[in-house]
Structure 1
Amino acid sequence: MSQLHVVDHPLIQHKLTIIRDKHTGSKIFRELVSEISMLLSYEVMRELPTEEKEIETPITTAKTKVLSGKKLGLIPILRAGLGMLESVRDIVPAARVGHIGVYRDPETLNPVEYYCKLPQDIHERELIVMDPMLATGGSAVASIQFIKDRGGKNIRFMCINAAPEGIEELQKAHPDVDIWTCSVDEKLNEHGYIIPGLGDAGDRLFGTK
Structure 2
Amino acid sequence: MSKLNNLEKLKQSGVVAVLRRVPKKQLFPLVETLINSGVNVLELTVDSEDAYGSIRELNDRFGDQALVGAGTVLTTEEATQALDVGAKFIFSPSFDKEVVKLTNDRDAISIPGVMTPTEIVEAHQAGADVVKIFPASAVGPGYLKDLQGPLGHIPMIPTGGVDVKNVGEFIQNGAVAVGVGGSLINKKAIENNDIQSIGEVAEAFQAEIRKARGE
TM-score normalised according to structure 2 size = 0.34
Report the structure, 1 or 2, having the larger helix content. Answer: 2
After TM superposition, the score normalised by the length of structure 1 is 0.35
